[in-house]
Amino acid sequence: MEPLSDTDFLSRFIGTNIKITTIHGHFQGELFHIDTARAIILIKVIDLSTGKTVPGAKLFLGHVILKVETQEDPSYHDGQEQDEPPDESSGNMVSEDKAKSALKPEVVDATAPKNVKESDVQIPNYSGDEDINYILIDQFQPMFGPAIMHLQNQKVLGLAAVALNVSCHGKLCLLQIATKTRVYIFDIFLLGPKVFKNGLQMVLEDKGILKVVHDCRWLGNFLFHKYSVVLANVFDTQVADVYVFSIETGGFLPNHTSTVTECLTRYLNLSSSKVSYLTYKQTIMKDNPNIWCNRPLQTAALKLLSLEVLQLLALRLAMLDAMLADFTLLVDGYLTGYCHQASDMFLSAEKDASSEIPKELQQICVLQQRRREKALRLYQVTPQGHLIREDM
């Protein structure tokens, strides 16, 4: 029988309660993950020094761990022999050298903020396609490298994120990136800043890859100040919505920007039931801001985040159609006007060389004026000259 590696030995205790003594104190919780390139991750953690529950997951770096002890017998995996020799240390205690040898201090501690009550809120399934192809990446091996390579070969990506306290003191929890065929959810809470230096920064800063985002301001600011990432080549659906409104009203601006829910409803003609998951997302984030720090993540929550970022790709296409509606109309008029000329089959050389704006193209001014007049009849006007658009 081949001897167990240190990581294999500790992996046998996944799902069991363990006690960890560090240079900072004593902690107890359920072992969630361990690998040689990371550190021990516990969930349902209790700080034994204070008796208080630590919300979310907590990482313990190898260089701060003094002792690891089990609080119950390990659950053996199928196929494992249970007559393997016990650890040389007394009882169920793992020796300091064995625990440390399985850990490498490469990940920043991702402890959730203190004094936030851990919630058991359940996220219901959304009203939509149940077969979303999402991949959760919460460790660097084996999926991180192939995911980055796949993203680097794309031309357009959907991009969204969830964070705890969007400020200089906040914490980015999850980053969702969608391609046409799949959605990647990067667990920044567990992976730490290294996730950007190892490839994500190149993707986000690549000017050859279009990133579709709804309200890029907070995410761009967050990425820049927290991780030195300069988000580039962005199609912002919130900006696009204002631009389309301006086109449709002959140059007026709305009195407020739209949410992603309103945009999906407006441009994709989705029913309220199809976007209700976004309303629920906002509700649970307001009631329990720490929801995205809890581990393990619920499958329903991952599907919710996947659907949101995936729909941004379809939203962009619908918005582009709306932006180009006038252009298409002008081209049709341009073509039709000359195709129905009298007997002339071709434009004369003199006509072809003319730089005057044809009457077909001058219709844009008439169209804009008509739209302004219609908009003034349909909308109320604010003192600033903006149109009051009713919430959907």
Within this chain, do residues 72 and 218 fall inside the same structural domain, yes or no? no
With respect to residue 111, please indicate whether it lies within any of the assigned structural domains.
Answer: no
Within this chain, do residues 80 and 159 fall inside the same structural domain, yes or no? no
Within this chain, do residues 10 and 79 fall inside the same structural domain, yes or no? yes
Q: Contact 12/77 with Cβ under 8 angstroms? A: yes
Within this chain, do residues 281 and 145 fall inside the same structural domain, yes or no? yes
With respect to residue 122, please indicate whether it lies within any of the assigned structural domains.
Answer: no
With respect to residue 110, please indicate whether it lies within any of the assigned structural domains.
Answer: no
Q: How far apart are CA 236 and CA 239, in angstroms?
A: 5
Within this chain, do residues 331 and 243 fall inside the same structural domain, yes or no? no
Give Cβ neighbours of residue 32 (< 8 Å, ≥ 6 apart). Answer: 14, 41, 42, 43, 57, 295, 296
Domain that residue 87 falls in: 6-101
| Residuewise pLDDT in 10s, the chain (392 residues) | 344 455 555 666 777 888 888 888 888 888 877 755 456 777 788 888 888 887 666 777 676 788 888 765 544 444 444 334 434 333 444 444 444 444 433 333 333 333 333 333 444 444 444 467 899 999 888 889 999 999 999 999 999 999 887 666 678 899 999 999 899 999 998 888 999 999 999 999 999 999 999 999 999 999 999 999 999 999 999 999 999 999 999 999 999 999 999 999 999 998 888 888 888 788 777 777 778 888 888 888 888 899 999 999 999 999 999 999 888 888 888 787 666 555 555 555 455 556 788 888 888 888 889 999 999 999 999 999 999 987 65
pTM: 0.69
Please identify which residue in the block is written with the tokens 């720490």: 290
State the CATH number of the domain containing residue 148.
3.30.420.10
Within this chain, do residues 147 and 191 fall inside the same structural domain, yes or no? yes
pLDDT value of residue 306: 92
Within this chain, do residues 153 and 283 fall inside the same structural domain, yes or no? yes
Nearest alpha carbon to residue 151 among 179, 175, 174: 179
Which residue among 284, 299, 321 closes a domain? 321
Within this chain, do residues 170 and 246 fall inside the same structural domain, yes or no? yes
pLDDT value of residue 120: 39
Cis before residue 193, ω within 30 degrees of 0?
no
With respect to residue 28, please indicate whether it lies within any of the assigned structural domains.
Answer: yes
pLDDT value of residue 103: 40
Q: Contact 28/19 with Cβ under 8 angstroms? A: yes
With respect to residue 107, please indicate whether it lies within any of the assigned structural domains.
Answer: no
Within this chain, do residues 204 and 262 fall inside the same structural domain, yes or no? yes
With respect to residue 27, please indicate whether it lies within any of the assigned structural domains.
Answer: yes
3-state secondary structure of 188: helix
Sign, Cα dihedral of 189, 280, 286, 259: positive
Give Cβ neighbours of residue 320 (< 8 Å, ≥ 6 apart). Answer: none
Within this chain, do residues 51 and 178 fall inside the same structural domain, yes or no? no
pLDDT value of residue 9: 58
Which residue among 101, 124, 158 closes a domain? 101
Within this chain, do residues 49 and 196 fall inside the same structural domain, yes or no? no
With respect to residue 78, please indicate whether it lies within any of the assigned structural domains.
Answer: yes
State the CATH number of the domain containing residue 75.
2.30.30.100
E-strand spans in 34-182?
40-47, 52-54, 58-60, 65-70, 93-94, 134-137, 156-164, 171-178
With respect to residue 177, please indicate whether it lies within any of the assigned structural domains.
Answer: yes
pLDDT value of residue 205: 97
CA dist list (Å): 364 to 287, 329, 333, 352, 357: 49, 9, 11, 21, 11
Which neighbouring-strand residues pair with 21? Answer: 26, 67
CA dist list (Å): 39 to 12, 16, 62, 292: 15, 16, 6, 20
Q: What's the structural domain count of the chain?
A: 3
Length of the chain as a residue count:
392
pLDDT value of residue 385: 92
Within this chain, do residues 310 and 343 fall inside the same structural domain, yes or no? no
Side-chain half-sphere CA neighbours of 356 within 13 A: 7
